[in-house]
Amino acid sequence: MLEAGSKQNIVQLERLDEVFDSIGVKPDPRNDPAMQGICDLNEAEIAKHGDAADRDLINIEYGQVAAHFYIARYGTLRRTAHALGHAKAVKLLDRTLVETRAIDCAFTQLYDHLLSRRTSSRYPGETALATTAAMHPGLTVGLALGGVLAAAALVKAGRSKRR
């Protein structure tokens, strides 16, 4: 899941570059304090738990928090692009939203699976993930280009397009 997620993150980052190109704005990438907060909370929770199975569940939980964060960001950007008539940006952001929602569903299924295995008498104390880091939402911090900045860029491009 880590390898697939990493590849998808790269594709989504490239797609965001296409979004910016399509509206004629240069992106200003930076770490997002909100996403950093999610990562910090995850790390704090992980530090409280020595059991790998507990850490797996915590990492999945915070992975979903990160996915929901991105769904909100991409959704807002998509609506802004639509309102301003940036059809190509809308199409690109739609694709990213579909992928991010699929990630959220995968997290839910994995969490449910691990939780049921963990609570099953057949697999006491088993951790089904090979590594906790595989689910760490910190991997997505690099993608946080700042939805507010991106929305502002879309608005600016929309204004110049209408002139």
pLDDT tens figures, 10-21? 899 899 999 999
pLDDT tens figures, 106-158? 889 999 888 888 777 555 554 444 333 334 334 333 333 334 444 445 555 55
Which residues lie below 8 Å from residue 91, measured CB to CB, with a gap of 6+?
Answer: none
**Domains identified in the chain, total number:** 1
pTM score, two decimals?
A: 0.70
The span from the CA of 33 to the CA of 53, in Å, is 28
What CATH number should be reported for the domain holding residue 131?
1.20.1260
Going through the chain in order, the beta strands assigned E by DSSP cover none
Give the C-alpha distances (Å, rounded to integers) separating 37 from 2, 25, 33, 69, 138: 21, 27, 6, 11, 10
Residue 47: per-residue pLDDT: 94
Residue 133: per-residue pLDDT: 34
Per-chain mean pLDDT for the chain: 78
Q: Domain span at residue 150?
A: 2-162
Residue 8: per-residue pLDDT: 81
The span from the CA of 28 to the CA of 42, in Å, is 26
Residue with more model confidence, 8 or 37: 37
